[in-house]
Structure 1
Amino acid sequence: MIDYRDKTVLVTGGASGIGKALAEALHARGANIVVADRQAGAAEEVANGLSGRAVACDLAKPEDAARVVNDAFDWTGRLDLVCANAGYGRNKRMTKEPFDEAAMDLFSVNLFAPFRMAQAYAARLTEAGQRGRLMITGSENSLSLPDAVRRNGLGAYAATKHGVLILAEWLREDLRGETMDVHVLMPGGVYTPLIARHIPDPNDLPPEMNIILPERCAEIALKGLDLGLFYIPTHAHIADDMRPRTEGVAASLKALGLT
Structure 2
Amino acid sequence: MIDYKDTAVLVTGGASGIGAALAAQLAARGADVIVADKQGDLAREVAAALPRPGFAVACDLSDPAAPARLVAEAFAWKGRLDLVCANAGFGRRKRMMQEAFGPDTMALFAVNMFAPFRMAQAYGAALETAGRRGRLMITGSENSLSLPQAVTRSRLGAYGASKHGVLIMAEWLREELAGELMDVHVLMPGGVYTPLIAQGLPDPKDIPPEFNVIMPEECARIALKGLDLGLFYIPTHKHIADDIRPRAEGVWEAIRALGLS
TM-score > 0.5, shorter chain as reference? yes
Q: Counterpart of 1:19 in structure 2: which amino acid?
A: G
The alpha carbon displacement at 1:178 in A equals: 0.2
Map of 2:157 onto structure 1: 155
Task: Report the equivalent of 1:47.
Answer: 47
Q: 2:193 aligns to what?
A: 191
Provide the rounded CA distance (Å) in 2 between the counterparts of 1:101 and 1:197: 24
Q: How far has the Cα of 1:71 moved from its partner?
A: 0.6
| 1:224 pairs with 2:221 | no
Q: How does 1:92-131 map to 2 (within 5 A)?
A: 92-131=94-133
1: distance between equivalents of 2:239 and 2:88?
A: 24
Query: What SS does structure 2 have at the residue aligned with 1:197?
Result: helix
Shift of 1:199: 1.0
Query: d(CA) in 2 for partners of 1:241 and 1:140?
Result: 9
Instruction: Specify every segment of 5 or more residues in structure 2 that has no aligned partner in the other structure, as ranges.
Output: none
User: What CA RMSD, in Å, does the superposition of the two structures yield over aligned residues?
Assistant: 0.5
- Look up the SS of the partner of 2:120 in the other structure: helix
**Partner residue in 2 for 1:146:** 148
> What letter matches 1:92 in structure 2?
K
Residues 16-67 of structure 1: CA deviation (Å, up to 9, x unaligned) = 0000000001001000000000000000000111210000010000111011
1:173 Cα shift? 0.6
TM-score (norm 1): 0.99
What is the CA distance between 1:14 and its match in structure 2? Answer: 0.0
- The Cα of 1:205 is off from its aligned counterpart by 1.3
Measure, in 1, the Cα distance between the counterparts of 2:235 and 2:224. 12
Q: Which runs of 4+ in 1 moved over 2 A?
A: none
Match of 2:36 in 1: 36
After TM superposition, give the deviation of residue 200 of structure 1 in Å. Answer: 1.1
Tell me the amino acid that sits aligned with residue 126 of structure 2.
R
Identity of aligned residues (%): 71
Question: For 2:75 and 2:90, how far apart are their aligned partners in 1?
Answer: 25
Partner AA of 2:135 in structure 1: R
Following the alignment from structure 1 to structure 2, what is the Cα–Cα distance between the partners of residues 90 and 198? 15
SS at match of 2:23: helix
How far did residue 74 of structure 1 move?
Answer: 0.3
TM-score by length of 2: 0.99
Q: For residue 258 of structure 1, what is the aligned residue in structure 2?
A: 260
Specify the alignment match of 2:71 in structure 1.
69
- The correspondence for 1:209, drawn from 198, 208, 211, is 211
Give 1:24's aligned residue: 24
What is the distance in 2 between the residues matched to 1:198 and 1:161?
A: 23
Q: 1:198: how far off?
A: 1.2
Higher alpha-carbon deviation: 93-102 or 198-207: 198-207
Deviations 1:163-182 (A, max 9, x none): 00000000001101000000
Question: How many correspondences in the alignment?
Answer: 259
Instruction: Tell me which residue corresponds to 1:90.
Output: 92
